[in-house]
Amino acid sequence: METAQVKYLGNLRTESTHLQSGQVIITDAPKDNEGNGEAFSPTDLVCSALASCMLTIMGILAKREHIDLTGTTIHVTKTMESNPRRIGAIQIDIVFAQNYNSADKTRLENAAKTCPVAKSLSPEIQQNITFIYPN
């Protein structure tokens, strides 16, 4: 089953439509690569997909184990490389809204590290993950 349709709109901009839901995402080339930087770039979406996937997989575990994950936020920082131009590193800072016991922390951290996007990215991309809990 087809997942998405992506249309080139001109001026280094694309429109991706998720066929099942009709949701639309616009991408724009970044300013440092001849674009306007007015929307997520395709590489921004890759990094955001990693963060969303981690939250989703942790959420599945949290739902099953009755752990409240509400309010958890991920801060994403992308580092680009050149020759060839590609994502070199993704910094993922997972900031939990609440603290957990050590067993839950271990399970949540393992879930995040095993998300399908993390396992699908090239091993050449450094995935630096930091887990931050409230004091």
Reported as a single tens digit per residue, the pLDDT across 41-74 is: 999 999 999 999 999 999 999 999 999 999 999 9
Q: Are residues 77 and 15 in the same domain?
A: no
pLDDT at position 40:
97
Reported as a single tens digit per residue, the pLDDT across 96-110 is: 999 999 999 999 999
Q: Are residues 96 and 122 in the same domain?
A: yes
Confidence of residue 36 (pLDDT cuts 50, 70, 90): very high
In whole angstroms, give the CA distance from residue 44 to residue 54.
16
- Across the chain, mean pLDDT equals 97
Count helices and strands (H / E) in the chain. Answer: 3, 6
For residue 135, pLDDT beyond 90? no
| One-letter amino acid for residue 76 of the chain | V
3-state helix, strand, coil in the chain (%, to 5): 35, 35, 35
Reported as a single tens digit per residue, the pLDDT across 16-29 is: 999 999 999 999 99
Query: What is the residue range of 97's domain?
Result: 42-132
Predicted TM-score (pTM) of this structure: 0.94
Q: How far is CA 123 from CA 8, 41, 53, 110, in A?
A: 30, 21, 17, 18
Q: What is the CATH number of the domain that holds 111?
A: 3.30.300.20
The CA-based dihedral angle spanning residues 41, 47, 50, 51, taken in that order and rounded to the nearest 10 degrees: -100
- SS3 state at 59: helix
Total tally of structural domains belonging to the chain: 2
